[in-house]
Chain A
Amino acid sequence: MAVRPTAGPVPVSVAAGPEAWASSQELRARPELEVATSPRHATVLVVAGPLPDGDREALDRTHDQLPHPRASVAWDPGTAVGEVVAAVVAADAELRRRPGEASEPDRLPDVDPNPWRGQGPHGQGGEGMMGGTPYGRAMAMTDEDRDGLALDALTVTLGPFLDPLPGGLRLEATLQGDVLTAAALRHPGLAIPAAGGAAAARRGLQWLAHALHVHGLGGHAARAAALAAELGRGADGATRASVEASLARLCRRLGRTGLWWTLAGQGELEGQGDARRRWEEALDGIAAHLSGQRAGRGADPGGGGGGAGRETGRVDPVDPVDPVDLEALGAALVGRTLDEAVVTITSLGLGTLRPVPAAREARR
């Protein structure tokens, strides 16, 4: 352990751009840190760049959500994890020494996004009951829905730094209760280098760490992140064999968590089965990359008895062969609950970070 924690693990919130998102998951392995699920829970904001220009405002908003005392640490590409952890711990120590002065001020003015436009203290004098600006503040309008109840619809944009979603992904969801009635996914797109072997396996383990965290298995997530970090330190045959053995042990542990049961039947997508099948394919893929059975992009997965659609619609979460069509995925999420949408997106692995280019062209 490079830095000895003196005040317990430092809660950090990670705002990661598409390129750094996967590798930032290795922070989950560090006992000096606690990767928070919400910026409100964090003391230090780790900004893992580079960020697309369009995410600047979202970054500032995320920053302003951290409670005082707070600090932020930039993680430039190429900087080792250890150095970032040291910087976070140092920033936290500084905050504890001088909580008042060291804490960072807001980056954006604290203004009401929907300012009060009524006349008079109680909004008397507004116009209309539905639509317009009744009594000064727009109200939700009713909309068609799954159960035919025509409830109020609410449109929110989740991301690009929402913890359960992959870095840079925006989910624009129209919700009735927690059921999505419309969904659009946007991602700037990421060129994942075509690679097999240890590099792909490492990315797969980074995905696994995040995915386990989303399913409430924080301890197991730390283990997966530690395996990814181990591969990062050296990719020789002995390390790969030891990581493969550890992964097999982790999979056996996962069998006792009920994870497979909770995944079964969730996130069904046409031609791609349910979330459980995609998870199993992902874990097989990581193991195959580790043992060198899978060379790189486009290789046949082999083994496991291919189900219908495996050849055409296979989504390898580790090393995405077919990029995910975000438009079709958004349409497929309609009618599901918000949590199932998250489970579905998670089960697609890093594929959502590499959307079909045509989908983006069409939207512009």
Chain B
Amino acid sequence: MSSGAAADVAFVAFALVAVAAGYRVFRTDSMVRATFLLLASFLAVGAILVLLAAEYLGTALLFMMTVEMVVMALFMVMFMMNPAGLNPMAMVHQPRLAAGAGVAAGVALAGVAVVADFPDAPVAGSAGAVAALGAELLGPSMLVFESAGITLLATMVCAVVLSASRGRYGPTHDGSVAPPLDPGGDHRPTDDLVEPGGGGHGHHGSHS
């Protein structure tokens, strides 16, 4: 583990970046900025992990989160009606409850962190930490490693099945009901809303 004044300064700087960027995520109008602020928070945590001698985890966090956040930015622009935040709008609900819960959770956890008495057994140094992790993953923790692989595979299949436009029982929008455009309005069938290419399918929704 890195130690000394330089490491302390670096830690404080990275920790401040992580927390400040994390806060800004929910305070910016631009969805793209929000996404990359979250990425900045991850990168700062990755840097702290490197300082903590978990060199491999820090760098792995770096590139895993990068790809994830880029995909997230793509989704942001796809699904948000206002991705650049050019029309300022408040997309929040129950703000008091949310803020209260957040502060309470943060304070409680921080309290535990300060008060609790953890064993004091610092890691010796980063030398060999990467090799030890490799040996652990392919040795005693082989089961975890294998399950991780299977889980990811299952996730991929699951994500494709969920997001494909044709589900097991036909086009996904058949028979589903879209929300009203104005409060108290009628729910409308979605067939006029989403019409996958091809068209010409029968209207045999089970709920209508």
Which A residues are closer than 8 A to B by beta carbons? 122-123, 126, 129-130, 134-137, 139-140, 144, 146-152, 177
Main secondary structure on chain B at its contact with chain A? loop
Quick check: A146 and B194 within 8 Å, CB to CB?
A: no
Quick check: B89 and A146 within 8 Å, CB to CB?
A: no
Chain B residues with CB below 8 A from A136, complex form = 87
Chain A residues with CB below 8 A from B87, complex form = 123, 126, 134-137, 139
Query: Which residues of chain B in 78-93 are interfacial with respect to chain A, using CB atoms and an 8 Å cutoff?
Result: 78, 81-82, 86-89
Quick check: B197 and A146 within 8 Å, CB to CB?
A: yes
Beyond A130-B181, A139-B87, is A149–B82 a contact (Cβ under 8 Å)?
no
Q: 6 closest pairs, A vs B, by CB?
A: A148-B196, A148-B165, A135-B87, A122-B88, A150-B194, A144-B195
Q: Does residue B99 face the partner (Cβ distance < 8 Å to A)?
A: no
Quick check: A151 and B181 within 8 Å, CB to CB?
A: no
CA distance A146 to B196 in the complex (A): 7
Quick check: A135 and B88 within 8 Å, CB to CB?
A: yes
B56 CB → nearest A CB, Å: 36
**What is the total number of residues of chain B having a CB less than 8 Å from a CB of chain A?**
16
Quick check: B88 and A140 within 8 Å, CB to CB?
A: no
A126 CB → nearest B CB, Å: 8
Chain A residues with CB below 8 A from B196, complex form = 147-148
Quick check: B81 and A140 within 8 Å, CB to CB?
A: yes
Quick check: A148 and B197 within 8 Å, CB to CB?
A: yes
Q: Does residue B193 face the partner (Cβ distance < 8 Å to A)?
A: yes
Quick check: A139 and B195 within 8 Å, CB to CB?
A: no
CB-nearest residue of chain A to B190: A150
CB-nearest residue of chain A to B89: A135
Beyond A135-B87, A148-B165, is A130–B81 a contact (Cβ under 8 Å)?
yes
Beyond A130-B181, A144-B194, A144-B195, is A151–B78 a contact (Cβ under 8 Å)?
yes
Chain A residues with CB below 8 A from B81, complex form = 129-130, 139-140, 152
Query: Which residues of chain B in 150-206 are interfacial with respect to chain A, using CB atoms and an 8 Å cutoff?
Result: 165, 171, 173, 181, 193-197
19 pairs, CB–CB < 8 Å, chain A vs chain B: A123-B87, A126-B87, A129-B89, A134-B87, A135-B89, A137-B86, A137-B87, A139-B81, A139-B87, A140-B81, A144-B194, A146-B197, A147-B165, A147-B197, A148-B165, A148-B171, A148-B194, A148-B196, A150-B193
CA distance A139 to B171 in the complex (A): 29
